[in-house]
């Protein structure tokens, strides 16, 4: 598979009705979106690569393993592909169950084509944002792993709001040494302000001493506050 194939969104359609699969493929491809169809859950599991972005259009009632069981299986495996359920035998309880489990939508057959396409667009965007956040968190972890043990200790104290002078006293170091550590931390993390350090600590989940009241607004989902791709 080429890099282009992996990075372009794919809509995975799982339905045991040949006519439904073919109709969905024609509809979705008419929007210029890549489609992969499967007649069973097992066929999907055999051919699915979680690295491929996109979403899953999934029939509820399928032979051997149902759509609901597949949703639960993917959750247990830590695979968070957005799911749009379609069903000719749906009910309110079933719809509520799937939505509580994280489904993007639950559509009863026959459904309006435009409604499905709009759901697909929402699901693809949800997947894009989730993958962007995952990449951002990986970059954060890589940056933090570059810190020495002493630099990590200084960072812990910095995000608690301590001044260089107080940190020097706490760690029995000179103020100049703390300033040097702080400069190294800033360089390795690719930030140039305390707000940047706070974002790194907050996003990593590894620093529990981040103050409850931050001196800047929360970061919108999918919008990293800084570019972590540069060295």
pLDDT digits (tens, 9 = 90+) for 24-64: 999 999 999 999 999 999 999 999 999 999 999 999 999 88
pLDDT at 221 over 90: no
Model-level pTM greater than 0.75? no
Overall number of domains in the chain: 2
Which range is least confidently modeled, 106-115, 183-192, 196-205, 207-216? Answer: 207-216
Q: Does residue 169 share a domain with residue 84?
A: no
Q: What is the predicted pLDDT for the residue at 106?
A: 93
Tell me, yes or no, whether 132 and 27 share the same domain.
yes
Residue 122, domain member (yes or no): yes
**In this structure, is the dihedral angle defined by the CA atoms of residues 20, 22, 26 and 29, taken in order, positive or negative?**
positive
Same-domain pairing of 98 and 154: no
Structural domain ending residue among the three candidates 111, 136, 161: 136
Report the CATH number at residue 72. 3.40.50.2300
Give me the pLDDT at residue 210, please.
55
Q: Average pLDDT of 131-151?
A: 90
Q: Contact, 119 vs 90, CB < 8 A?
A: no
- How distant, in Å, are the alpha carbons of 15, 50, 112, 139, 198 from that of 34? 17, 15, 20, 29, 40
Contact 221, 131 (CB under 8 A): no
The model's pLDDT over 81-98, given as tens digits with 9 standing for 90+, comes to 999 999 987 677 788 888
The answer to whether residues 21 and 115 belong to one domain is yes
Is residue 84 in some structural domain?
yes
One domain for residues 102 and 188: no
Q: Does some domain include residue 220?
A: no
| Strands lying side by side in the sheet with 54-59 | 34-38, 10-14, 54-59, 83-87, 105-108
Region of residue 54 (phi > 0: left; psi between -120 and 50: alpha; otherwise: beta): left
At residue 222, the pLDDT reads 45
Same domain for 131 and 150, yes or no, is no
Q: Are residues 131 and 151 in the same domain?
A: no
Distance CA 231, CA 227 (A): 10
Please check whether residues 112 and 90 belong to one and the same domain.
yes
The reported pLDDT for the residue numbered 5 is 55
Q: Is 12 found in the same domain as 122?
A: yes
Q: Which domain holds residue 64?
A: 3-136
User: Does residue 203 carry a pLDDT above 90?
Assistant: no
CATH for 157: 1.10.10.10
């Amino acid at each position: 598979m080429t890099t282009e194939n992996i990075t372009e969104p794919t809509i995975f359609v799982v339905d045991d009705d040949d006519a439904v699969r073919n109709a969905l493929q024609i509809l979705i491809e008419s929007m210029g979106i890549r489609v992969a169809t499967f007649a069973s859950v097992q066929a999907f599991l055999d051919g699915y690569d979680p690295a491929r972005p996109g979403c899953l259009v999934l029939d509820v009632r399928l032979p051997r393993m149902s759509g609901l069981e597949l949703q639960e299986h993917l959750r247990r495996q830590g695979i968070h592909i957005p799911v749009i359920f379609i069903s000719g035998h749906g009910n309110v309880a079933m719809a509520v169950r799937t939505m509580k489990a994280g489904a993007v939508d639950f559509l009863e057959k026959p459904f309006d084509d435009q409604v499905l396409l709009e759901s697909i667009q929402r699901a693809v965007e949800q997947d894009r944002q989730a993958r962007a956040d995952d990449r951002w968190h990986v970059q954060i972890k890589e940056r933090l792993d570059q810190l020495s043990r002493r630099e990590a200790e200084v960072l812990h104290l910095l995000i608690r709001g301590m001044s260089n002078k107080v940190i020097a006293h706490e760690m029995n170091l000179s103020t100049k040494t703390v300033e040097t550590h702080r400069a190294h931390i800033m360089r390795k993390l690719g930030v140039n302000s305390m707000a940047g350090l706070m974002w790194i600590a907050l996003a990593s989940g590894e620093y529990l001493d981040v103050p409850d009241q931050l001196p800047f607004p929360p970061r919108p989902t999918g919008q990293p506050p800084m570019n972590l791709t540069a060295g």
